[in-house]
């Protein structure tokens, strides 16, 4: 079953994400995911 994951980001966070994509920064990407996605993903797995 597919589930939707929406991550609310402010302007600065969008710029940070764009920088990570442009720079192909794996360390920055991991840090960004841990900061912004970890809790949402956990909630989905726990039945959210």
Per residue in 16-40, pLDDT (tens digit) is 999 999 999 999 999 998 988 887 7
Compare 43 and 15 and report the one with higher pLDDT: 15
What mean pLDDT is predicted for residues 2-29?
Answer: 92
Cα–Cα distance, 39 to 20 (Å, whole number) = 20
Look up residue 18 and give its two tokens. 């764009």
Residue 15 lies in a domain: yes
Residue 3 lies in a domain: no
Residue 40 lies in a domain: yes
Please give the residue range of the domain that contains residue 38.
Answer: 11-45
Which pLDDT score is estimated for 30? 94
Cα–Cα distance, 37 to 48 (Å, whole number) = 14
What mean pLDDT is predicted for residues 9-21?
Answer: 95
Q: Which residues, in sequence order, are CB contacts of 16 under 8 Å at separation 6+?
A: 28, 32
The pTM for the full model equals 0.71
Q: What is the number of domains present in the chain?
A: 1
């Amino acid at each position: 079953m597919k589930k939707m994951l929406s991550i609310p980001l402010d302007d600065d966070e969008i710029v940070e994400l764009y920088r990570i994509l442009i720079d192909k920064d794996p360390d920055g990407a991991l840090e960004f995911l841990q900061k912004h996605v970890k809790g949402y993903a956990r909630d989905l797995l726990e039945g959210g």
